[in-house]
Chain A
Amino acid sequence: GAGVSQSPSNKVTEKGKDVELRCDPISGHTALYWYRQSLGQGLEFLIYFQGNSAPDKSGLPSDRFSAERTGGSVSTLTIQRTQQEDSAVYLCASSSDRGLPSYEQYFGPGTRLTVT
């Protein structure tokens, strides 16, 4: 399909290990967002990429979290030295260029991360 895809769908890792989560946005969408949803919580903004602009990293909870977006398409969220409180569903969303009327975000199915 042409939707947002994320991999892996589930990831179990040991505390202290590094993990990488991948997001493939909808083709042509210039904006890409990462959120996480902890148990019983809403969607917490993490980072936002828009075209070639510097990303908005204001939501990253610590310097253990980083994200890249290569070639304006695929994005990878990396969590170093994972902690149990990092356990959550990590959601990626993309949206079309800011100049167009469409402004809603299209979400992927998420990656459920469990840190043991």
Chain B
Amino acid sequence: DQQVKQNSPSLSVQEGRISILNCDYTNSMFDYFLWYKKYPAEGPTFLISISSIKDKNEDGRFTVFLNKSAKHLSLHIVPSQPGDSAVYFCAARSTTSGTYKYIFGTGTRLKVLA
């Protein structure tokens, strides 16, 4: 039972254009959503997050949008750069009795073409 889904395993975008990575979830009790970027042979690194009470969070070239009614979030990268080429993981956090659990999607491999 995949609670966090990234249905696009890969995405190719031209340099300078917008990259849009999508993520769907099933559990309405998730309270935070996070995006991580992963380069080969490295651990994931935190990119940006959004609280479930917000619908948008922006940090430089990165913006995350949350649509709670659709249980959908997306990461926009504008403008895309070749260095953005990596695997992007969406993660959702659930909080139970003060402890946190993170559920990750399967990742989307982004390739930014120069």
- Say yes or no: B106 contacts A56, CB within 8 Å: no
CB-based contact A98/B100 at 8 Å: yes
| Count of A-B residue pairs with CB < 8 Å | 59
Partner of B44, one of A45, A98, A103, A107: A107
Q: How many residues of B contact A (CB 8 A)?
A: 25
Q: A110 near B: Cβ within 8 Å?
A: yes
* CB contact under 8 A between A106 and B46, given known A42-B89, A42-B106, A43-B89: yes
B99 within 8 A of A: yes
B95 to chain A, nearest CB (A): 8
Selected from B42, B44, B99, the residue in CB contact (under 8 A) with A43 is B44
Instruction: Map CB proximity to A onto B82-101 as digits: 1 under 8 Å, 0 otherwise.
Output: 00000001010100001111
Q: Is the interface of B mostly helix, strand, loop or mixed?
A: strand
C-alpha gap A91/B43 in the complex (Å): 7
- Whether the Cβ atoms of B43 and A103 lie closer than 8 Å is no
Q: Is the CB of B46 within 8 A of A56?
A: no
Per-residue interface assignment for chain B, residues 38 to 63, with 1 indicating a CB less than 8 Å from any chain A CB and 0 otherwise: 00011111100100000000000000
A103-B99 in contact given A42-B104, A109-B43 (Cβ < 8 Å): no
- With both chains docked as a complex, state the minimum distance between the C-beta of B97 and any C-beta of chain A, in angstroms: 9
In angstroms, Cα B89 to Cα A38, docked, is 14
> Nearest chain B CB to A22's CB is how many angstroms away?
15
Q: Quick check: is A105 within 8 A (CB to CB) of the other chain?
A: yes
CB <8 Å contact, B34 and A104: yes
Q: Is A41's beta carbon under 8 Å from chain B?
A: yes
Q: How far is the CA of A43 from the CA of B4 in the complex (A)?
A: 11
Interface residues of B (CB under 8 A from A): 4, 6, 32, 34, 36, 41-46, 49, 89, 91, 93, 98-107
